[in-house]
């Protein structure tokens, strides 16, 4: 079994008695982890924080965080620690390896001995056991988390259960960060469109024009009415 030291997560290599006190301690660990990872909505800061904290706590050979590509049925390696074979941006298709298998079944898969596991794809030579856990939020598959260890059957049932709890928080944090990033990008795009519109409107308003025929609104008045109507439409679209 693994001999990782106790950390903020309080992982222990020995099975703990299933008591109300033990469950309370476990919930406190999850709460602390959730507070740390939800303190940022920047996906570029969030993902490294997740892999670094879990890797340090478990003493793992490798930690990977794959996020689902919404445009394709693939999963992109967004966060990695300890892997010398694949870097960020590496893709795995649905059904390929442990990651693809877990993405298909949406259930945790644990390989206590990777040499005997039909889904394991060889990576680090020191890896002896590995677990892959789906990241789900309200039925939506966000990604897949994997942890590898250099010892056989390194993850006891308590650790696996706690990791599943951590992954529930990870899924929510990633979902929120992605949504925040999408909304921020949309706001910036709308602001650029509005700035371009007003810039074009100001240039057009400065152009000289002939006096309008009697009974018809002047060019400036018509243009003002048109720009006001367009601006109202853009503002409504950004709400």
Query: What tens digit of pLDDT does each residue of 87-126 get?
Result: 899 999 999 999 999 999 999 999 999 999 999 998 888 9
State phi, psi for 5 to the nearest 5 degrees.
Answer: -70, 160
pLDDT tens sequence across 132-161: 999 999 889 999 999 999 999 998 898 898
Instruction: Return d(Cα 130, Cα 66) in angstroms, integer.
Output: 15
Extended beta strands in 54-128, E state = 62-69, 74-81, 91-93, 109-111
Of the candidates 103, 91, 153, the residue with the CA atom closest to the CA atom of residue 132: 103
Q: Is pLDDT above 80 for 234?
A: no
Cα end-to-end span (Å), the chain: 55
**Among the ranges given (94-98, 170-174, 231-235), the one the predictor scored with the smallest mean pLDDT:** 231-235
Instruction: Return d(Cα 57, Cα 187) in angstroms, integer.
Output: 38
DSSP lists the bridge partners of residue 97 as none
Q: Do 105 and 96 touch, CB atoms closer than 8 A?
A: no
DSSP string, 188-236: HHHHHHHHHHHHHHHHHHTS--PPPPTTS--HHHHHHHHHHHHHHHHHH
Where b means 16+ CB within 10 Å and e means fewer, 163-187 reads bebbbbbbbbbbbbbbeeeeeeeee
Overall pTM > 0.75? no
Instruction: Report residue 149 as tokens.
Output: 């260890």
Q: At what angle do helices 20-37 and 157-205 cross, to 10 degrees?
A: 30
Q: Which of 51-55, 119-123, 188-192 has the highest mean pLDDT?
A: 119-123
């Amino acid at each position: 079994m693994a001999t990782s030291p106790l950390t903020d997560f309080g992982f222990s290599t020995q099975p703990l008695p299933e008591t109300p006190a033990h469950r309370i301690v476990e919930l406190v660990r999850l709460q602390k982890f959730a507070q740390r990872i939800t303190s940022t909505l920047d996906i570029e800061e969030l993902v490294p924080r997740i892999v670094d904290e879990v890797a340090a706590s478990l003493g793992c050979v490798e930690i990977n965080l794959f996020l689902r590509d919404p445009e394709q049925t693939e999963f992109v390696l967004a966060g990695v620690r300890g892997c010398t074979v694949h870097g960020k941006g590496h893709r795995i298709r649905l059904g390929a390896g442990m990651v693809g298998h877990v993405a298909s079944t949406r259930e945790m898969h644990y390989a206590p001995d990777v040499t005997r596991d039909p889904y394991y794809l060889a990576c680090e030579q020191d890896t002896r056991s590995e677990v892959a856990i789906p990241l789900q939020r309200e039925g939506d598959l966000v990604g897949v988390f994997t942890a590898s260890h250099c010892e056989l059957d390194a993850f006891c049932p308590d650790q696996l259960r706690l990791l599943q709890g951590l992954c529930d928080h990870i899924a929510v944090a990633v979902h929120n960060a992605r949504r925040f990033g999408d909304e921020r990008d949309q706001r910036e795009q709308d602001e650029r469109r509005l700035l371009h519109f007003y810039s074009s409107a100001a240039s057009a308003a400065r152009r000289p024009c002939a006096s309008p025929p009697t009974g018809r609104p002047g060019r400036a008045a018509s243009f003002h009415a048109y720009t006001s109507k367009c601006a109202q439409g853009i503002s409504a679209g950004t709400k």
